[in-house]
Structure 1
Amino acid sequence: MSKAPGMPSSSSSSPLTSQPPLSTASPPAMPLPLRTIPGSYGWPLLGPIFDRLDYFWFRGPANFFKKRMEKHKSTVFRTNLPPTWPLFLGINPNVIAVLDCKSFLHLFDMEIVDKKNVLAGDYMPSVKFTGNLRTCIYLDTSEPQHAKIKNFVIDILKRSSTVWLTELKANLDILFDTIETSISAKGSARLSFPLQKCLFNFLTTAIVGADPTTDPTIADSGYAMLDRWLALQILPTIKIGILQPFEEIFLHSFAYPFALVRGDYSKLYNFVEKHGNEVVQRGVNEFGLTKEEAIHNLLFTLGFNAFGGFSAFLPTLIGTITSDKTGIQEKLRKEVKEKIGSSSLNFESVKDLELVQSFVHETLRLNPPVPLQYGRARKDFQLSSHDSVYDIKKGELLCGYQPQVMKDSKVFEDPESFKAERFMGEKGRELLNYLYWSNGPQTGSTTESNKQCPGKDIVPLTSFLFVAYIFQRYESISGSSSSITAVEKAK
């Protein structure tokens, strides 16, 4: 991906060959034993239903994978993942879980895995949500449209670097002014809606090239429209945590119809068509897309990748800062004050913030915005974990639960603990080879021939700027991932 000024450089090697060796032991490695994949799919009908209840209700996603890994004494095993039959007619929930860094790595090899329509496993929302088109994220790299659209998105992010920083800072000013006003009036400030409005305005201007304030309806409710559009697509696959069995009955038992958000989507489409015409025409003239393909992929990039991703990740990042009891907040503030002070934030200035960068990377390690990754075997092949080799048959669906993968004890020391300094120094930087939040290693490169997120560089860079902004503005900040309860302005 072409980078904004100051973005870290990336290697373009294949992800399966660019990694440093997982073991530095001097003796030659012994051949790994061939093992039958443990686990089963259970009785027809009953097995998927029991696994679904275990996943959503009895254990939750994290313990679902952890307990099965312990039971089978393997990081590779067979299981079912929701959504499940018969409530989702025609969906096959059978997967092969890959839960260590070495086995998970196979999901990035486009020679052996097919990514067609497997963003959420065997479940795919109706294409009506995206104008009866399959957007880039659902296309396999072998499909001609994938390269056109991926290059279009990469170009959008490259060009957006000219306004990315100014729009981010302007909208952060509005966000934290709003938070301070709310704290003064009510004693605390809810974070969700002000943050999402900030993100929507910032990202729409930077990515679509359209100022939301030119349309009062979009300015007031655009973020909520994206929320509803996104929620209806992913609700059947995620645990919300409301009172059971109501969550199972009302959220996980059927696919939601596009008709519920048709009006919202039409307004967003018309806004992009009218006010984002320059970017749309670039997609048409320079990348060979139709106007409809350009607009629907712009909306998906804005709504799912950018707005959805940041809306999931930034509250966690804020909560990690505001609820800190270890002293890391003081260390972050000290680094920002010493290396930037009151100087203007920019892409170059955050390059020297080693602790801030490591802190963001560690938050991404334990809280990736998209926890599940899938890939369907393109052909028969042998998959390796740290200790075994397994035969994979063409057509079998692989699934990696990244929060568990990122706790691989053969790669990360004390993997369950949050260590803000983990990615500092030479050894820490080497660990970026195993930071997979972007559907590829942080040291990799996003190209038209892979499925790595085009925002692989800009997402952490924006997060560095976000953390630095907080500690330029405040001496301290308290609260959680959902609210801010107190701030002390910088002296």
Structure 2
Amino acid sequence: MLPTLSPAASASAATPPPRPIPGSYGPPVIGALRDRLDYFWFQSQDEFFRRRAAANRSTVFRTNIPPTFPFFVGIDPRVVAVVDAAAFTALFDNTLVDKRDILIGPYNPGAGFTGGTRVGVYLDTEEPEHERVKKFAMAILHRSATTWASAFRAGVDAMLDSIEADLAAKASDEKPSANYIVPLQQCIFRFLCKALVGADPSVDWVVDKFGFTILDVWLALQILPTQKIGIIQPLEELLIHSFPLPSFLIWPGYYRLYRFVEEHGAAAVAYAAEEHGIGKKDAINNLLFVLGFNAFGGFSVFLPFLVAKIGEAADPTGLRPRLREEVRAAMLKAATGGGDTVFGFKAAREMPLVRSTVYEMLRMQPPVPLQFGRARKDFVLRSHGAAFQVAKGEVLCGYQPLAMRDPEVFDRPEEFVPERFLGDEGQALLQHLFWSNGPETSQPAAGNKQCAAKEVVVDTACMLVAELFRRYDDFQVEGTSFTKLVKRQPSPTMSEPAAAGAQ
């Protein structure tokens, strides 16, 4: 539980004077190494932040963040950690924080992973190129709207066909199961290529078969120095967390994807030049980053959490039957002419429980748990009933899983409550949902750093839930595997919503 202030203390001063930020970085080198071992080895990431918040009796405190000693030359691991909803909002204020080259913290994997281009997410809002690239990303997403839903449904159908076949082949096993991670990643990669790049990966068998694996390796090499993966210690510390991983290891695969976009996504590349003044090389590298890091990486992290949570065998609140009922009602509405000609974005926004469930999963398991920013100037950081003086140049490290479980904001913050965001009170809580590098109540714009695909991510997750209940009356999941699939029984009162158009 996060430390909280008493009501008396909270009411004592509406605007308390700023005080020094508690916490310590420890002795040079040794302090950073101690924190690194706690972060990766002795404690979980969650426990790392919780313990320090409790020890300092504050939701704003000083600590070190990996990666650190010995070969990360020029990396300063010292940060001001922020783990409450009130102070976290400073990370979205572009007048207070600079987001230059700080996507995953003080450590920057380098432009070698992006073909020599400083892609949009590493640009600060005050850099002239940021607005150009952000507008291009938003425009590409807007152009994809006509094909997104149909490409996604086709991909999900292929994925579920594969999972069903795998589960049927193991029917004689004592506990049959079918892992869905590889089929899901193939689905995500193929539909994103069609929707964002405008190219079908089946035209290149290497890209079609191995494209998602290339992206997995590409992502891993960039972020592994900051991630715990759980191999035998001390091998993980020595081989993964002690030096930057080189980009040349993935260059052949990355170049294959680059050529695929160059040859088969020529319309999108030309659009970047003609409408946004972005050269071919930078356009392709930005497209690949949006495809690979933002979209593929984000969906690959988040969607398995969502599927596993909904598919829990226990289902103590009867969530699956309630979701199924809502999905089927929306399908019937779409099929009878009251909704989409394809069961897509409009229908996804007319399923409030499905949408609230997705929001709650984003609150509990945000795809990107950490947000960073470097103070542009001296300023006062305000938390619940407290204020802290931040100096120019200090790095703020916001840990979302705790900020979005702030007991000052959320009732039963540690519980998964699918109905949390229903009704007027639930809608009011959306201002504290920060998964997209901004409040859910704000919108991406050329002048901010909020995820350009904020709306489409939620809609796509809703569509995945809808597809599962379109096809199955029930299903169960253990970890990353389906263990039970109950095919939908035909109903004389329900027809398919524009199935032909969705393919």
TM-score normalised by the chain length of structure 1? 0.93
| Alpha-carbon distance between aligned partners in 2 of 1:62 and 1:303, rounded to the nearest angstrom | 26
Matches within 5 A, 1:15-94: 30-94=14-78
Whole-Å separation in 2 of the counterparts to 1:356 and 1:121? 33
Match of 1:447 among 445, 448, 461: 445
Please give the alpha-carbon distance, in whole angstroms, between the structure 2 residues aligned to 1:264 and 1:152: 25
More moved, 125-134 vs 457-466: 125-134
Of the three residues 395, 399, 411, the one matched with 2:393 is: 395
In the TM superposition, what are the counterparts of 1:283-298 in structure 2 within 5 Å?
Answer: 283-298=272-287
Q: Is residue 323–residue 479 contact of structure 1 (8 Å, CA) maintained in 2?
A: yes
SS in 2 for 1:87: coil
Aligned mate of 1:408, from 406, 423, 433? 406
**1:29–1:324 CA distance, 2 compared to 1 (3 A):** farther
Cα deviation for residue 28 of structure 1 reads 10
Distance in 1, matches of 2:478 and 2:444, equals: 33
- 1:438 aligned counterpart, secondary structure: coil
In structure 1, what is the Cα distance between the partners aligned to 2:259 and 2:291? 15
Query: In the alignment, which residue of structure 1 is the partner of 2:101?
Result: 117
For residues 88-147 of structure 1, the C-alpha deviation after alignment (integer angstroms, 9 at most, x for no partner) is 222110000011111000000000100000111110012111111110000000001100
C-alpha distance in 2 between matches for 1:31 and 1:440:
24
Q: 2:338: which partner in 1? A: none
2:297 to 308, 314, 318: 308
Q: % of aligned pairs identical?
A: 48
State how far apart, in whole Å, the 1-side matches of 2:313 and 2:454 are: 27
Q: Which residue of structure 2 aligns with residue 328 of structure 1?
A: 319
Q: What amino acid does structure 1 have at the position aligned with 2:117? A: L
Question: CA–CA distance in 2 between the matches of 1:350 and 1:311?
Answer: 20
Q: Which residue of structure 1 lines up, in the alignment, with residue 421 of structure 2?
A: 423
Q: Measured at CA, do residues 142 and 324 of structure 1 come closer, stay the same or move farther in structure 2, by a change above 3 Å?
A: farther
Structure-2 separation of matches of 1:283 and 1:338 = 41
Q: Deviations over 1:200-248 (max 9, x none)?
A: 0000110011110011111111111111111100110111122322221
SS at match of 2:454: coil
What SS does the corresponding residue of 2:63 show, helix, strand or coil? strand
| Separation in structure 1 between the aligned mates of residue 168 and residue 313 of structure 2, nearest angstrom | 22
Corresponding residue of 1:270: 259
Query: Which stretch shifts more, 174-183 or 238-247?
Result: 238-247
Equivalent position to 1:233, from 219, 222, 232: 222
1:55: how far off? 0.4
1:339 maps to 2:337: no
Contact in 2 for aligned 1:320/1:480 (Cα 8 Å): no
Rounded Cα–Cα distance in structure 1 between residues aligned with 2:330 and 2:291: 33
What corresponds to 1:358 in structure 2?
A: 356
Runs of 4+ aligned structure 1 residues displaced above 6 Å come to none
In 1, the alpha carbon distance for the partners of 2:82 and 2:206 equals: 45
Q: CA deviation at 1:469?
A: 1.0
Kept in 2, the 8 Å contact 1:98–1:400? The answer is yes
The correspondence of residues 476-491 of structure 1 with structure 2, limited to 5 A, is 476-491=474-489
Q: Which residue of 1 aligns with 2:501?
A: none
Q: Does the CA-based 8 Å contact 1:232-1:256 persist in structure 2?
A: yes
- Given that residues 55 and 64 in structure 1 are in contact (C-alpha distance below 8 angstroms), is that contact kept between their aligned partners in structure 2? yes
Match of residue 238 from structure 2:
249
Code of the residue aligned with 1:181 in structure 2: it is: A
Contact 1:160 1:207 in 2 (8 A): yes
| Structure 1 position 480, deviation (Å) | 2.7
RMSD: 1.4
1:345 shift after superposition: 1.7
Amino acid at match of 1:180: E
SS at match of 1:454: coil
Read off the aligned partner of 2:441 and give its amino acid letter. Answer: T
CA distance in 2, matches of 1:62, 1:177: 37
**Equivalents in 2 of 1:424, 1:400: separation in Å?**
27
| Contact 1:433–1:443 (CA under 8 A) maintained in structure 2 | yes
CA contact (8 A) 2:21 2:62 kept: yes
Instruction: Give the C-alpha shift of residue 86 in structure 1.
Output: 2.2
**Are the aligned partners of 2:150 and 2:344 in contact in 1 as well (CA < 8 Å)?**
no
Whole-Å separation in 2 of the counterparts to 1:121 and 1:347:
34
Unpaired runs of at least 5, structure 2: 1-6, 171-175, 336-341, 490-503
Counterpart contact for 2:431–2:439, Cα < 8 Å:
yes
Say if 1:436 and 1:309 are closer, same or farther in 2 by CA, change over 3 A.
same
Indicate the larger mover: 246-255 or 193-202: 246-255
Structure 2 residue corresponding to 1:470, chosen from 468, 471, 483: 468
Which whole-Å deviations, capped at 9, do the CAs of 1:149-169 have from their partners, x for residues lacking one? 000000000000000011000
Q: Deviations over 1:412-447 (max 9, x none)?
A: 001000000000010001101110000001110101
CA contact (8 A) 2:69 2:242 kept: no
Q: Could you tell me how far 1:29 is from its partner in structure 2? A: 6.3
Cα offset, 1:401, TM superposition: 0.7
Could you tell me how far apart the structure 1 residues matched to 2:12 and 2:468 are? 49
8 A contact 1:85–1:93 mirrored in 2:
no
C-alpha separation between the residues in 1 aligned to 2:106 and 2:14? Answer: 36
Match for 1:336: what amino acid?
V
TM-score (ref. length: structure 2): 0.91
Please give the alpha-carbon distance, in whole angstroms, between the structure 2 residues aligned to 1:310 and 1:476.
Answer: 23
